Amino acid sequence: MRLLIVILFLTKVLHADEPQVKVSETKIISQQPHFYHGWPTLARRANGDLIVVYSGGREFHVCPYGRQEMITSRDNGQTWTLPRVLADSAIDDRDSGVLETSKGTLIATMFNSFAYQIHMNAPERLLNTTFGKETPAMLKRWHTMDDATTQAQKEAETGYWMTRSTDGGVNWSPRYRVPGYSPHGPINLLDGRLFYATSNGKKAIAYVSEDDGLTWKSLSEMPVRAGELHAVQAKDGTIIVQVRDKLVIDKKTQQNTSQIISTDGGKTWTEKQKVADGFPSHLIRLRDGTLVMTYTWRQEPFGIRGKFSIDHGRHWSEEFILSDDAANWDLGYPSSAELADGELLTVWYETPKDAHKAVLMQARWTLNR
């Protein structure tokens, strides 16, 4: 422990006058400004292709139109394809995760919901102040869409879903139910299995798959709230799970990111500890073993921030900023990937100033560690 503290101290001293990150480019990568885009996940394939899945075809943060879409880049994020629709259920398809497994299979995850009815049936909650005179026409469209299925059909349709592609994303399997979800989906373990830190709305449960995502076996109930989770396995085998956490202080709810750690493959866990004030987080392990977490900052100045760890997630660096010029709170869910040259790419969604249709944003950056 003393050696670790010395290493961290020397690292901080040596780099005291250098910025932790250098952002070389920030740009919009979505190409359909007439739609709202939300909750993306970025993954880099073994062949170098980049894939982003997200909820598209939308009218707003909550609406009945959400569908799961995918865009691809074959030039390290310089250009992106137009979207392909992977799933479009009768209700709102939200939060998309994506992963290429060690066997080369692509796995995409999502959940769907009819929570838009809360706002559709009580527009004074949110819609009237957001859309003003446009609200009646919009509500008419929403009711027309909602009336296409019965309430019983909507309830039967709701759940957590997964789909797989074994040919690089050309064809996808029929979706199938899984026991929980997280915004960015499962991760690869070092031994070739898949690990999924999930929430089912009541409990946070760790699952493992030994057949490339076809079936899932429960490992343990995790000692964190059933919130939005993501995981990473460190180079030494440690599994780190982070969660969008909530604290009530003086009767006010504050949100942040907390984490737990397992050193026995996800069977038992440490007590949770707070690691950041932003939320929710996404985790990756770089080729040299460094762990990087990126997360949303929904306070002014709104944007995307992160931290890194050089000791397998036990300690995290000072916070760095990737963006701080967003117009409002409706942004976030960043996810990152390491490119072949060591640069990092982070993708998130963001709502422009004086607009209601969120776009997908991308930042290209390097980490000074």
What six digits make up the tokens of 332? 């976030």
Q: How far is C-alpha 191 from the geometric centre of its chain's CA atoms?
A: 24
d(CA 43, CA 292): 14
Residue whose pair of structure tokens reads 């019983």 in the numeric block: 152
User: Which tokens hold the place of 42?
Assistant: 């970025």
Q: How many angstroms separate the CA atoms of 350 and 53, rounded?
A: 15
Can you give the residue ranges of every domain in the chain? 21-114+158-367
Print pLDDT tens along the chain (369 aa).
Answer: 555 544 454 454 344 556 789 999 999 999 999 999 999 999 999 999 999 999 999 999 999 999 999 999 999 999 999 999 999 999 999 999 999 999 999 999 999 999 999 999 999 999 999 999 999 999 999 999 999 999 999 999 999 999 999 999 999 999 999 999 999 999 999 999 999 999 999 999 999 999 999 999 999 999 999 999 999 999 999 999 999 998 877 778 889 999 999 999 999 999 999 999 999 999 999 999 999 999 999 999 999 999 999 999 999 999 999 999 999 999 999 999 999 999 999 999 999 999 999 999 999 999 987
Regarding beta strands 159-165 and 106-113, do their DSSP bridges make them parallel or antiparallel, or are they unpaired?
antiparallel
The SS3 of residue 133 is: helix
Query: Which residue in this structure is represented by tokens 């869910």?
Result: 333
CATH of 21-114+158-367, picked from 3.40.50.1370, 2.120.10.10, 3.40.50.880, 3.40.47.10, is: 2.120.10.10
Which residue in this structure is represented by tokens 């076809």?
214
Alpha helical stretches, state H, the chain: 2-14, 116-120, 127-131, 135-146, 151-157
